[in-house]
Amino acid sequence: GQNIDQPTEMTATEGAIVQINCTYQTSGFNGLFWYQQHAGEAPTFLSYNVLDGLEEKGRFSSFLSRSKGYSYLLLKELQMKDSASYLCAVRVPNNAGNMLTFGGGTRLMVKP
């Protein structure tokens, strides 16, 4: 089976830095994705990691360690609009080729 764990909720202050962790145990691994989802909206792509290390994209960075089954999403200079759910997803092989398996999501609340 597939198991992807991330904290349910986090709170941080505007202007600060927050790190959202994701651990996974999956049958196969073909990449890890982070998505942002505002309430009532579709998920939007944030980052993709397939090799170990850090990927930086503006205020957002994502890290992957395949040997540890671990990733984190780092958000810097937090803004109120960053209040959203953040979804960690692992691409794994299935009968159709590949599929994304999602964690439960982390609801981030940014306070003034």
Partner 1 sequence: SAVISQKPSRDICQRGTSLTIQCQVDSQVTMMFWYRQQPGQSLTLIATANQGSEATYESGFVIDKFPISRPNLTFSTLTVSNMSPEDSSIYLCSVEDSGLREAFFGQGTRLTVV
Residues within the interface to partner 1 (CB under 8 A): 30-31, 33, 40-45, 48, 87, 89, 91, 94-105
Collapsed DSSP state (helix, strand, coil) of residue 82: helix
Minimum distance from residue 42 beta carbon to partner 1 (Å): 4
**What is the closest distance, in whole angstroms, from the C-beta atom of residue 12 to partner 1 in the complex?**
21
3-state secondary structure of 24: strand
Nearer to partner 1, 78 or 89 (CB): 89
Q: How large is the C-alpha radius of gyration of the chain? A: 14
CA–CA separation, 97 and 56 (whole Å): 28
Question: For partner 1, which is the closer residue by CB, 76 or 107?
Answer: 107
Supply the minimum distance, in Å, between the C-beta of residue 85 and partner 1: 8
- Cβ proximity to partner 1: between 13 and 25 the closer is 25
Residues 6+ apart with CB under 8 A from 69: 23, 24, 25, 26
Q: Which is nearer to partner 1, 69 or 103 (CB)?
A: 103
User: Which whole-number Å values give the CA distances from 104 to 24, 27, 54, in the listed order?
Assistant: 12, 18, 23
Residue 33 C-beta: closest distance to partner 1, Å: 7
